[in-house]
Amino acid sequence: MVHRVVAGIDLKALARNYRRIAAHVRPAEVLCVLKANAYGLGVAASARTLAAAGCTQFGVASLVEALELKKCLKGLKGLGRCDVTGGRQPSIVGEGLSAPSTVDGFDIQILSSALPDEIPEMVRAGVILPIIDLPTARLVSAEAVRARRTVRVHFKIDTGMGRLGILADKALEVIREVTRLPNLACEGIFTHCPVASDPKNPYTRRQIARFRDLVVAASEMHRFAKVHMAASDAINSFPEAARAPFTMVRAGIDLHGGFDPNGRKTLKVESVLTLKTRVAQVRDLPPGTTLGYGRTWCLNAPTRVATIAAGYADGLPLALSNRGFVFVGGRRCPIVGRISMDYTTVDVTDVPGVKPGDEVILLGRCGRDEIAPDDWAALKGTHAYDILCSIGTRVVRVPLD
C-alpha cells in the first residue's frame, strides 16, 4: 500500500542519542520515557532499539501504555536492576510472597498516577507504581497483600509543579507511614520541574535544593535506591540534578533529538524524525487568485502553486498557514493559504520541473538546511512535544535501521 504521508524514524540516531545522554549523566542511570506511543513515533521499535542500546528502565503514563510496552519488551533480555531494599525497612519479601518483578529484566514505571480501579491489574503486571498520597499507598498495599505479591513503588513529590503528588512539606510524614505498610518495596522518590528549560531560572534551583534536603532528611528513616528529578529540560540545563544524591534521570524528548537550542549545545543529540508527503497537483495561477479557506492569501503575480497531500489531520499545525515552509526539489518553499485537513498549497515558482508525485519534506534535513519540530513549535507558540504528539493516525510510521 502506498501512503501519502510517511514518518521515518531513524533508529540508529535514537540509539546514539540514548548513549550520549547516558554518557552525559553517568553514573546516574537513564530511564527512557515512552509514553503516548513514544511521543507518537512508535513505541515498539523505539523500545526494542533502546533495549538493544543498553536501556533497562522505561517510563509510561498509564496502565494501558505499560501493558503495551510489556508486550514490546517480552522476549528481550535486560541487564537486571538495582537492589530495592530500603535502609531501615523490614524485609519486603515474606514467606510465600513473590519478589518484586521485572519484564525479562526490564523495569516499567508508571510516572503519573494509579487510579483505584487500575491498581489490581497494575499489581498483576509487576510494574513500578507511583505513590501520590497515603490513600493510594494503602490501596496498593492492600491489593499486594491480597495477591501475595511485593509491589515496587516510588514516592511522587510535588516540589513546585502543582499537578500531582505529595506536597513537599507533608512528605516526611507520608513516607514514614507508607514504609510501614506491608508488601511495598519503597525503592524510589522523584519530583518534576515546570521551568527547567531556562538554566538561569532560580525557581528550578530552589526546587533542586528543596528536593535534595527532603531526600537527605528522609534517609534517616529510609534509604532510596532511586532518586530522580531531571527530565529532558533539566538534563540539558541543570547538570546538578543528575549528581548525588540523584541516581537517575528521565529522558523523553531528548531521545528524539532535543529540538531545543540548549539540548543541542549540551548533548549534541540528533533529530530522529523525517516527515514526508508528495505533490498532488501543480498549477500556474494568475494574479488575484485567492488560496484556501478564508481566502487568506491573494497572489499578486503569476505563481506556480503545488498542492501537497498533507494537512492538519496529518500533523501540520494551522499556525504554519501563510508563514511556514516545506522542502520541494531541494529548496525551501513557502506555504501560501490556510492549511486544510488533507492538503496544503505551496509556492514552487522558483523550483523548476515540479510535478505530481514528487517528494516533499515537511520535517527533516535537506542538504545543509533543516526544518525541525522546534521550528513548527515556534510558529505555533508551543513546544516540540505537542508537534510530535499531533502527527495524525493515518501517517504511517516507518522505522529506519
Please give the full DSSP string across 219-275, using - where no structure is assigned: TTT---SEEE---HHHHHH-GGGGSTT--EEEESGGGGT--SHHHHHHH-----EEE
Is residue 251 left, alpha or beta, with left meaning phi > 0 and alpha meaning psi from -120 to 50? beta
How far is the C-alpha of 344 from the C-alpha of 339, rounded, in Å? 5
Residue that has been written with the C-alpha cell 491489574 in this structure: 121
Q: Which residues are CB-neighbours of 239 under 8 A, at least 6 positions away?
A: none
Q: What is the pLDDT of residue 87?
A: 36
Q: What is the residue whose three cell numbers read 516526611?
A: 172
Which residue is it, cell 528521565?
250
The pLDDT score that the predictor gives to residue 310 is 98
Residue partners of 371: CB distance under 8 A and separation at least 6: 325, 326, 327, 332, 361, 362, 363, 364
How high is the pLDDT of residue 259? 61
How crowded is residue 102: how many other Cβ atoms within 10 Å of its Cβ? 19
- Catalytic residue from among 203, 268, 293, 355: 293
Q: Which pLDDT does position 57 carry in this prediction?
A: 97
What CATH number is given for 273-400 in this structure?
2.40.37.10
Q: Treating both helix axes as pointing N-terminal to C-terminal, what angle do 43-52 and 11-25 enclose, rounded to 10 degrees?
A: 50
- Tell me if 181 sits within 8 A of 197, measured CB to CB: no
Residue 103 has a pLDDT of: 63
293 catalytic per annotation: yes
Around 368, how many Cα atoms within 13 Å sit in the side-chain half-sphere?
Answer: 0
Q: What is the CATH number of domain 11-257?
A: 3.20.20.10
User: What is d(CA 234, CA 231) in angstroms, rounded to the nearest whole number?
Assistant: 5
Residue pointed to by grid coordinates 495524525: 392
What CA–CA distance (Å, rounded) separates 351 from 299? 17
User: Could you give the C-alpha distances from 223 to 72, 86, 165, 301, in angstroms and in order?
Assistant: 32, 5, 20, 72
- What does pTM read for this prediction? 0.90
Grid cell of 79 as nine digits: 541487564
Bridge partner residues of 275 (DSSP): 7, 363
Residue 268 among the catalytic residues: no
- Name, in order, each residue with C-beta under 8 angstroms of 295's C-beta and a sequence gap of 6 or more: none
Class of residue 261 by CB neighbours under 10 A (exposed 0-12, middle 13-18, buried 19+): exposed
Choose the catalytic residue: 35, 70, 156, 276.
35
Per-residue pLDDT of the chain (401 residues; tens, 9 = 90+): 789 999 999 999 999 999 999 999 999 999 999 999 999 999 999 999 999 999 999 999 999 999 999 999 988 866 544 333 333 333 334 444 555 556 668 999 999 999 999 999 999 999 999 999 999 999 999 999 999 999 999 999 999 999 999 999 999 999 999 999 999 999 999 999 999 988 989 999 999 999 999 999 999 999 999 999 999 999 999 999 999 999 999 999 999 986 665 556 678 888 899 999 999 999 999 999 999 999 999 999 999 999 999 999 999 999 999 999 999 999 999 999 999 999 999 999 999 999 999 999 999 999 999 999 989 999 999 888 899 999 999 999 999 98
Give the pLDDT score at 92. Answer: 39
3-state DSSP call for residue 332?
Answer: strand
Q: What are the domain boundaries of the chain?
A: 11-257, 273-400
Cβ contact 371:286 at 8 Å: no
